[in-house]
Amino acid sequence: MNFTSMLEVDEQFKEMSFDGSLVFVLLFQFCKYLQRFQSTLVIAEHNNEKLLPITQNAITAAKKLGGDISVLVFGTKCSHVAEQVSKAPGLARILVAENEAFHGFLPENVTPLVLATQKQFNFTHILAGATALTKSLLPRVAAKLDVSPISDIIGIKGPDTFVRTIYAGNAILTLKSKDPVKVITVRGTNFEPASLEGGSTVTETAPGGEYKTGLSQFLSQELSKSDRPELTSAKVVISGGRGMKSGENFKLLYDLADKLNAAVGASRAAVDAGFVANDLQVGQTGKIVAPELYIAVGISGAIQHLAGMKDSKTIVAINKDPEAPIFQVADYGLVQDLFKAVPELTGKL
Ligand SMILES: Cc1cc2nc3c(=O)[nH]c(=O)nc-3n(C[C@H](O)[C@H](O)[C@H](O)COP(=O)(O)OP(=O)(O)OC[C@H]3O[C@@H](n4cnc5c(N)ncnc54)[C@H](O)[C@@H]3O)c2cc1C
């Protein structure tokens, strides 16, 4: 069709007295029609006892995409975790893979399972929470499918259009993927956890196969045990920085955390100095948190730290330097020596 005839068609279209609402309804129906062809596989994570909350965030993200949602639960003994997932409303199927090869959740062994599942069901999206496991698993899956992984998204604008942060959270990028299968990890703090009540999806056995690749071997793991809430899901987080001066001084933060039922975090400077273990690190190369209340103690507010906590609902900063950049993002700031302020606060609570 040449340009002149295109204009003619356009004119004819204008002359047809279309009702605006009719066009809207037709568009809406068309989108729903397209959604019917979408199907998402959510990768479930658990600790062999309980489903990890990040999977609930991933299910919410999958619901935003529309279409069928399947959940893949794998492990050595995970049927009771699958039962927990089956209570989530709105799922099409739950695929369960129990195999000794999944001991320790080695990504080398789990990748063939995800690929076999994909081969059988031909999903349009494979989606998981952004965690230590999926950061290792999904790039492998994407490479095998010859598509680009889309990591740590914070929003979904459509089935092929996603939002993610770049430059340590200083810029927001909207990307459109043309890949036939979208392999995505989602930032848990940006998607509400899906309910685990009211659903009754039946479980099915995931495709079988030889999953022990021998590429890696699980030897042991040391899990840090704490009575405090987990850092990424705690409602209150108190983090200490280099200003704490030593690991012993973190006791001040633990005492305060006990009063507030809070998790304790740290800046990378505090971790690098050996004050606390590195699983406490908050930031670009640590954990991303978005609690109701974040208290930064003796932390300057470098962009890499802010990248991990600036979505917190209320930010409180305690720092003796009034020029510290943390005060620019803080809702409440206290310019004071932390060794005076923190015990006083704990005492008052
Ligand atoms: C690639 C890359 C990734 C990184 N990833 C991360 C990350 O994930 N997380 C992260 O945190 N950092 C990260 N960093 C490091 C980051 O740039 C900063 O170096 C770090 O966050 C600084 O930690 P801090 O605020 O504890 O220390 P400092 O910047 O040294 O600040 C200490 C603060 O304590 C205050 N203070 C000192 N004594 C007292 C006192 N008695 N009372 C009150 N206040 C006091 C000081 O005024 C100062 O503001 C990364 C850096 C790079 C290059």
Residues 241 and 171 in one domain: no
Q: What is the pLDDT of residues 130-164, one digit of tens each?
A: 999 999 999 999 999 999 999 999 999 999 999 99
The SS3 assignment for 262 reads: coil
Q: Are residues 187 and 321 in the same domain?
A: no
Q: Are both 200 and 270 inside the same structural domain?
A: no
Is-contact 130 188, C-beta < 8 A?
yes
Per-residue pLDDT tens over the stretch 60-118: 999 999 999 999 999 999 999 999 999 999 999 999 999 999 999 999 999 999 999 99
Same domain as 240, residue 176 = no
Mean pLDDT on 47-72: 95
What region, left, alpha or beta, does residue 152 occupy, with left being phi > 0 and alpha being psi -120 to 50 degrees? left
CATH code: domain of residue 123: 3.40.50.620
* Domain end position, chosen among 146, 170, 205: 205
pLDDT at 16 over 80: no
- Total Cβ atoms within 10 A of residue 220: 5
Q: Is residue 4 assigned to a domain? A: no
Give, in degrees to the nearest 5, the angle at Cα 59 between 122 and 163. 85
46 with 171, same domain?
Answer: yes
Burial class (CB in 10 A: 0-12, 13-18, 19+), 193: middle
Residue 343 falls within a domain, yes or no? yes
**Quick one: tokens of 16?**
């047809």
Contact yes or no for 187/54 (Cβ under 8 A): no
Residue minimizing CA distance to atom 28 of ligand 1: 300
CB of 70 sitting under 6 A from ligand 1: no
Split into its structural domains, the chain has a count of: 2
**Domain identity same for 241 and 174:** no
- Nearest of 118, 120, 134 to residue 181 by alpha carbon: 118
Choose which residue among 285, 329, 342 to substitute to test ligand 1 binding: the one with the highest number of ligand atoms within 8 A of its C-beta.
285
So what's the pLDDT on residue 208? 87
Mapped onto helix, strand or coil, the DSSP state of residue 161 is strand
Cα-to-centroid distance, 345 and ligand 1 (Å) = 22
279-329 per-position pLDDT tens digit: 999 999 999 999 999 999 999 999 999 999 999 999 999 999 999 999 999
pLDDT digits over 27-46, tens only?
656 555 555 578 999 999 99
**Ligand 1 geometric centre to CA of 286 (Å):** 13
Residue 329, judged by CB atoms within 10 A of its CB (0-12, 13-18, 19+), counts as middle
Q: Is the pLDDT of residue 6 over 50?
A: no
Q: Does residue 64 have its Cβ closer than 6 Å to ligand 1? A: no
CA 9 – ligand 1 centroid, Å: 63
Question: How many residues can be counted in the chain?
Answer: 349
Whether 47 and 170 share a structural domain: yes
Reading the block at residue 205, the tokens are 């056995």
User: Model pTM?
Assistant: 0.79
Query: For residue 224, with 0-12 CB atoms within 10 Å meaning exposed, 13-18 middle and 19 or more buried, which class applies?
Result: exposed
- Stronger pLDDT, 16 or 117, i.e. the higher one: 117
**Owning domain of residue 161:** 33-205
Q: Is the CB of 299 under 6 A from ligand 1?
A: yes
Per-residue pLDDT band at 226 (split at 50, 70, 90): confident
Q: Which residue has the higher pLDDT, 221 or 241?
A: 241
Q: For residue 301, give the CATH number of its domain.
A: 3.40.50.1220
